[in-house]
Amino acid sequence: MRKIEHIEEQIRELSEAELVQFRQWFAEFDARAWDKQFESDARAGKLDRLGEAARRAHTQGKTTKL
């Protein structure tokens, strides 16, 4: 846990400009990590059940147009 505490301490010491820069970097980093996990889950079939449920709901008229 010490590693996280050190990172938190470093973030607290950032200037406003550095914090803006860090937020932008982290948002992009996090989005890439999420995309990678989503793609991995999709390839592994972990989302198939959700897709099937959505198609079933649509066929049964339980969806609305966007």
Per-10-residue mean pLDDT for the chain, 66 residues long? 94 98 98 98 96 95 91
To the question of pTM greater than 0.85 for the whole model, the response is no
**Residue-wise over 31-50: b if at least 16 C-beta within 10 A, else e?**
eeeeeeeeeeeeeeeeeeee
Would you state the pLDDT for residue 1?
72
